[in-house]
Amino acid sequence: MDTLNWNRAATCAHPAPGVEAAMIQGLHAPDSGRGSNNESTGERLHSIRQCAGRLFGFAATERIIFTSGATYGLNLAIHGGILSGSRVLTTTYEHNAVLRPVVRRAEDHDCSIEILPFDDFGVLDLEILAAELKKGADWLVMGVASNLMGTIQPFQEACAMAKAAGTRVILDLAQGGGYFPIDLDALGVSYASIAGHKGLHGPRGIGLLFVARDCEPTALVQGGTGLDGLNLGMCTEWPQRLEVGTPNYPGIFGLGAALEHLE
């Protein structure tokens, strides 16, 4: 008896063509920059970042970080980027990948949080956002679409309002990235995080974090990067400064195939 799995609301129906083959290729990829003298893997990682940059309108491709998913990327942005004493705006219907790290950051680093309501249609009320921005805010953390309500948020307007108020933005792209155009450089956000397995139609367990040029986040994890091994401090080069340990080559290669198919 065949089984039909309809539990696809939080992911994609099927990976994009070529993803599985690319993941197998990634299993056998020689490590790059760790004594192998093999350039092919490093070149492939570079080309995948370039493709992601084109798809999401992000020129600083060396600042596109491979992560384990949207959750890790959001944690890196929130814990690595939001300074002590900051005032943070977020919304009622954010994913716990946003709300839990924001609350934890506030508890540990004396930040204040204002959780903004949605209207009756599940959309962020821009008048309330404007009023809170007028009071002064250091950060706005929000998703481009709600996984609870299914509504696309007015993130373009919210980002423009935040920029005008001098408020930095962390965008959760997990529910919308890949389904509609997003131009990160035009939006002027500081960080944006996305999962590979939803709108990108890639593998689970891989994601991307986009870090703007004027951001210098603190790494959440320290360890080997394959560079400057005699220095006990973390390397300062991008993207290695935030990519610690052995890369997930199967996931990265699979994501690359998905991005290229989407492009």
Percent of the chain with pLDDT strictly greater than 70: 92
- Catalogue all structural domains in the chain, each as residue range(s) with its CATH number: 38-262 (3.40.640.10)
pLDDT tier for residue 148 given thresholds of 50, 70 and 90: confident
- 179-210 residue pLDDT tens: 999 999 999 999 999 999 999 999 999 999 99
Band the pLDDT of 35: cuts 50, 70, 90: very low
CA-closest candidate to residue 225, choices 234, 216, 217, 215: 234
The token pair at 59 is: 């020129």
CA gap 18, 8 in Å, rounded: 20
* The pLDDT value given to residue 32: 62
* pLDDT above 50 for 152: yes
Q: Name the residue with higher pLDDT: 26 or 11.
A: 26
CA distance 13 to 7: 9
Say how far apart CA 119 and CA 25 lie, in whole Å.
47
β-bridge partners, 211? 191
pLDDT of residue 85: 97
Task: Kindly state the tokens that stand for 142.
Answer: 């929000």
